[in-house]
A and B are shown apart, each in its own frame.
Chain A
């Protein structure tokens, strides 16, 4: 099956000098959740906007469902759903009117009632857009992106503004959308979101994709070290360095961190038992996407 989205050597320059996207290539397969992960200003949004046909690329080619999204936008009508990062509806437009309007853009689509229910907007159906909370607006935009039952849906920072409970509900719903066969492109700066949802992640930094793989694959490739942590009043810990697989040992107060590879937990546990040391809360901290991101970009996402 051909990829749903093909991007080759995409380049977008604003004005004459501001290179927002610099030689980006990737493919998105049918039925996956593909994440573009990066800090603000990394070029994620410009990239998806080029893919959506909202911006004309300076160079390179973009194909969505085999079509050029800028020049054959009409062919993609209703097959592509977009939730935009910075957009609004008219203040006095009601929730049901918005859904009704956007549904009418794709002939044959009538069932937006289900979306109202799914996205928790049923009791807000007669509320004006200006009276919705940030989270409600966000959910409305996601519902609008889905109203035409698109084959591919773009979600740009969709959980920004949602409270933790609403975020989890949103995640579950996105997984359901994917399970129905819809391809999802997710733009996010939340590591946990990318790790939880994405089948594959491209890490974007300074307009380039610097790594792309499954979240697990990225971790294995770029930050394979795991950490074993325990709390202990050991005065002397240098001997822990001789534990098989250990690379470094550090302590912060009573907290000891052994970093290394292999079945580190077992080795550290065995070594502690051998010395008859009872330590509380011995556990492993798996390397996360956040660690990978730090390793790759050298800066935190909130920078």
Chain B
């Protein structure tokens, strides 16, 4: 049997524009008040993230603690031994933008995969789906909530650095903001893809933590590029965070836009985002 709508459409006047049943149906599936649902879900997701100890630790506390350690060790005086190491600027001028990139990474690779695998394997998605919550709203709310978390974490890092180790004001706030959005998009896409392919929340968390620490140490965010061995640098070339750090450091000190880094991050965001939408399945 074809379907009811098609059957009813048949006797319609021949001059009426053809109204294909299924695209209309699909559009209706994804809408009425879809944006409202997205915003409500985003607000709830944000609250859920903030109730999660992992968020507090890895997105808010850990970056600030590391900034404190680095700040106490290196200070922010340009010149001296810093001359050769921190691109000629103060150590904290170097680290503040790098840690904004780290914040976006921690949200992307630690928070998102754990959340998405939990939703898939635990039956949360089934629950949402049975009530026709659109999947783009589920994924979209995660990404939007992650973006807001990233903003909060970044402001914490920047404020900490500004107050205790007077770092200079970003040379280009606009480029910094653009770079931040690009970093967030790339890491959110990676996190969503991990969430789609990892079998369980534990596996996702393990993989996420490992990526987090590898990137933290090999992308110039902890050990400055200048003192890395060539092997470390070669590995770093393959890590998304390296490009995030480059992009944000350029915007912060010098107000320059690193096109290579921007294109790499955009590419990651598009490819990983596309793949995750293809791979992600309802539970």
User: Contact: B133 with A84, CB < 8 Å?
Assistant: no
Measured in the bound complex, the distance between the Cα atoms of B1 and A61 in whole Å is: 8
User: Contact: B44 with A101, CB < 8 Å?
Assistant: yes
Contacts of A72 in B (CB 8 A): 5, 21, 25
Spot the interface stretch: B27-35, B72-80, B160-168: B27-35
With beta carbons under 8 angstroms apart, the residue of B25, B118, B132 that contacts A105 is B132
With beta carbons under 8 angstroms apart, the residue of A68, A76, A77 that contacts B32 is A77
For window 53-72 of A, CB contacts with B under 8 Å fall at: 54, 61, 63, 66-68, 71-72
Chain B 2-17 near chain A by CB (<8 Å), digits 1 or 0: 0111000000000000
* Chain A CB within 10 Å, residue with most, of B4, B30, B48, B127: B127
User: Contact: B25 with A93, CB < 8 Å?
Assistant: no
User: Contact: B124 with A90, CB < 8 Å?
Assistant: yes
* Chain B CB within 10 Å, residue with most, of A52, A63, A82: A82
Contacts of A89 in B (CB 8 A): 124, 127
Measured in the bound complex, the distance between the Cα atoms of B123 and A141 in whole Å is: 12
A218 close to B (CB within 8 Å): no
User: Contact: B131 with A102, CB < 8 Å?
Assistant: yes
Within the complex, the shortest CB–CB distance from B80 to chain A, in Å, comes to: 48
A107 close to B (CB within 8 Å): yes
User: Contact: A88 with B4, CB < 8 Å?
Assistant: no
Measured in the bound complex, the distance between the Cα atoms of B162 and A141 in whole Å is: 49
User: Contact: A63 with B36, CB < 8 Å?
Assistant: no
A144 close to B (CB within 8 Å): yes
Contact flag A97-B44 (CB < 8 Å), given A75-B25, A88-B124, A104-B36 = yes
User: Contact: B132 with A74, CB < 8 Å?
Assistant: yes
Interface range, A side:
20 to 34
Contacts of A61 in B (CB 8 A): 1
User: Contact: A101 with B123, CB < 8 Å?
Assistant: no
A276 close to B (CB within 8 Å): no
User: Contact: B132 with A54, CB < 8 Å?
Assistant: no
Contacts of B119 in A (CB 8 A): 90
For window 182-222 of B, CB contacts with A under 8 Å fall at: none
B278 close to A (CB within 8 Å): no
Contacts of B133 in A (CB 8 A): 105
Chain B 26-65 near chain A by CB (<8 Å), digits 1 or 0: 1111111100110011001001100110000000000000
B122 close to A (CB within 8 Å): yes
With beta carbons under 8 angstroms apart, the residue of B1, B5, B25, B126 that contacts A84 is B126
Within the complex, the shortest CB–CB distance from B192 to chain A, in Å, comes to: 17
User: Contact: A97 with B124, CB < 8 Å?
Assistant: no
User: Contact: B3 with A68, CB < 8 Å?
Assistant: yes
A86 close to B (CB within 8 Å): yes
Contacts of B31 in A (CB 8 A): 74
Measured in the bound complex, the distance between the Cα atoms of B44 and A105 in whole Å is: 14
Q: Which residue of A lies closest to B50 (CB)?
A: A92
Within the complex, the shortest CB–CB distance from A89 to chain B, in Å, comes to: 6
User: Contact: A93 with B22, CB < 8 Å?
Assistant: no
Q: Which residue of B lies closest to A52 (CB)?
A: B130
A274 close to B (CB within 8 Å): no
A73 close to B (CB within 8 Å): yes
Within the complex, the shortest CB–CB distance from A237 to chain B, in Å, comes to: 56
User: Contact: B132 with A73, CB < 8 Å?
Assistant: yes
With beta carbons under 8 angstroms apart, the residue of B30, B47, B118, B126 that contacts A86 is B126
Measured in the bound complex, the distance between the Cα atoms of B30 and A141 in whole Å is: 23
User: Contact: A71 with B3, CB < 8 Å?
Assistant: yes
For window 115-144 of A, CB contacts with B under 8 Å fall at: 128, 141, 144
Contacts of A67 in B (CB 8 A): 4
Contacts of B234 in A (CB 8 A): none
With beta carbons under 8 angstroms apart, the residue of B28, B40, B44 that contacts A75 is B28
Contacts of B281 in A (CB 8 A): none
Measured in the bound complex, the distance between the Cα atoms of B205 and A147 in whole Å is: 34
Within the complex, the shortest CB–CB distance from B141 to chain A, in Å, comes to: 10
Measured in the bound complex, the distance between the Cα atoms of B83 and A212 in whole Å is: 86
B84 close to A (CB within 8 Å): no
User: Contact: B4 with A66, CB < 8 Å?
Assistant: yes
Within the complex, the shortest CB–CB distance from A256 to chain B, in Å, comes to: 51
Measured in the bound complex, the distance between the Cα atoms of B129 and A88 in whole Å is: 12
For window 99-137 of B, CB contacts with A under 8 Å fall at: 118-119, 122-124, 126-127, 129-133
User: Contact: B130 with A84, CB < 8 Å?
Assistant: yes
Instruction: Please name 5 further chain A to chain B contacts, defined as beta carbons within 8 Å, in addition to the given A72-B25, A88-B123, sorted by A numbering.
Output: A54-B126, A63-B4, A74-B29, A75-B28, A101-B44
* 21 intermolecular pairs with C-beta atoms under 8 Å apart: A66-B4, A71-B3, A71-B25, A72-B5, A72-B25, A73-B25, A76-B132, A86-B126, A87-B124, A88-B122, A88-B124, A90-B124, A92-B52, A93-B44, A101-B41, A102-B131, A105-B33, A105-B131, A105-B132, A144-B127, A144-B131
Residues of chain B touching chain A, judged by Cβ–Cβ distance below 8 Å, are 1, 3-5, 21-22, 25-33, 36-37, 40-41, 44, 47-48, 51-52, 118-119, 122-124, 126-127, 129-133
Residues of chain A touching chain B, judged by Cβ–Cβ distance below 8 Å, are 52, 54, 61, 63, 66-68, 71-77, 82, 84, 86-90, 92-93, 97, 100-102, 104-105, 107, 128, 141, 144
6 residue pairs, one from A and one from B, having the closest CB atoms: A74-B28, A74-B29, A87-B123, A87-B127, A92-B51, A82-B130
